[in-house]
Chain A
Amino acid sequence: MNDAPFPLGLHDHEAYSLPLDKLDVSQGRLFQDQLHLPYFERLRREDPVHYCADSQFGPYWSITKYNDIVAVDSNNKVFSSASEFGGITIRDRRPEVRRESFIAMDAPRHDDQRKAVSPIVAPQNLARMEAGIRERAGKVLDDLPRGEVFNWVEKVSIELTTQMLAILFDFPWEDRRMLTRWSDVATADIAAGVVKTEEEREEILAECLAYFTRLWNERVNADMQPDLLSMMAHSPATRNMTPDQFLGNLILLIVGGNDTTRNSMSGSVLFMHGNPDQYAKLKANPLLLDSAVPEIIRYQTPLSHMRRTALEDQEVGGKLIKKGDKVVMWYCSGNRDDTAIENPNAFIIDRKRPRQHLSFGFGIHRCVGNRLAEMQLKIVWEEILKRFDRIEVVGPEKRVFSSFVHGIEDLPVIVHGK
């Protein structure tokens, strides 16, 4: 039940059964079956900047060590995020379905668009939102079934993150699960079956655009309000977006606020269950949540990678990356790099420097909602500790087929009251 696939007899593992040049860490099944970490451990040891010449996503470089990832992530002049080169995921979407968003955009346009929405997670706004987040978390937890098995992902993780997103967008409350659906559709690997074709994905995302366009038209003519749509509608940097750019930014904000914290919230239950010594420490001292929360986010690494495209030749870790090459920063690997993080495969809630992890990325594209994510996780665990003795995981979790979103779909649990 422990998340880490260690200890395994490393040399028995399939990660060590292939020649190095045949290693392809981009396969969704590796993440779904939790086999990916030994692959990355091998790459970190034997070939930390690794070229894979042939994969379903074409050739790509893997950056696997913490410091190399920070260097690439910080070097946005050489390593582009722009959608015209393929954007920020290993999957190259066909040019006709590529769209811009401020995460898939370089400076200076990125900077202006990001600043249009970033005040929503400024310290004063976080303080304003805190009581509402606590109240909603308490209500969801109070309504959970007692003494019976249920799916934590569905009843808690999805519900709370979707509610949060609906509030950030001031989205019609009764329709909020559409946000969850659009988020899942936007990121799904076709092989995972959420959508069967790119055409089907585009049809569903067109519904998302139509729905939000209606809301936009209301907000653009109304007074400025502190919600993401009004902020975009009233900012000079974003008020004249094309429909495609609007959809691109919507998907960014929906996925960024939804898939990520959802999976950290689910992962946290697995980690506490699998590490009873750590959970006992937390129960004895709930103030440890300040360090437990970033540790949860490190250990889960809700987005396994971010991708860049080299705009010029650049050496990284002794290898020459050529102009035009696809470069994948594997945050899930850097977060387990023992040259940067002590005992990285262990879940330790009172680490000395818990925030030194890669899950939010570094550089100008660093997660804009990082402190909101931490606050949501902290509050849900504060409220769990008030109500429950423990959350018992009673069956194997079901995971998402994806090398991008490190997700959990089904986590059967029973909650035990105090």
Chain B
Amino acid sequence: MSEQSHAVGSEAEGATSASGSWPISLTDVTVRYPNGVVALKDVSLEIEPGQMVAVVGLSGSGKSTLIRTVNGLVQPTAGTVRVGEHEMTALRGKALRHARGDIGMIFQSFNLADRTSVFRNTMVGRFSHTSTWRTVLGISSHHDRDIVMRALDSVGMLEKVWERAGALSGGQKQRVAIARALSQEPSVMLADEPVASLDPPTAHAVMHDLERINHERGLTVMVNLHLMDLARQYTTRMIGLRAGEVVFDGPAASATDADFEEIYGRPVQPRDRLDVS
């Protein structure tokens, strides 16, 4: 659909990203957890550079697992995952950490250290580019500091830089988390239910931020959602997961209620939408 227009955007603003935007490719990925639960069954996906993709499914459908195989937080039992030049499933140790540095991620519960300043939290994004002893001692270079400040500024959180993360509102925390991911200068952005803990206006604001990152920086964005209207409104392609299998893959805007019922495995309910209309 509108992927072509994003490709233009990535050329214009691509300078802010370390290596442009990358494709994501999963081939026959199966994840079986030690307790026997099969979270993903033979999932194969090709995501183009610069695409904004929603992964939709109910909780327990495997979408959290899917997004975590992309940055290697979950290692598949079978199959391969490639992100740009990295074959994530083949990497271990330092090489894996380095590859993760090129993949930003935000979470439902923000995952900031609440007792620490916004600055320190955002600085985490520079870890894969900085020597361990410097980060452990909390010494930051001018270059890293500059990147962190710019990332905070781009999400409108610069004035909060010296405040404790715990003192921020939910929406502000998620913005700091986005800044943390952006300061990695990533080529891919992952978001695991980024707005599920936020009220509707804030949810829209955060989705808007992600959309802007996709448009302006041309980053490939993969976002887990369980709400149908957010998927339709903000993403171009939608992947539906049910019980670990891909049951839908197509343009998000034109996905019908029947398509969502197929993904959810039940009739559509009011709680499947963020905005009551």
A and B interact physically: no
Residues of A within 8 A of B (CB): none
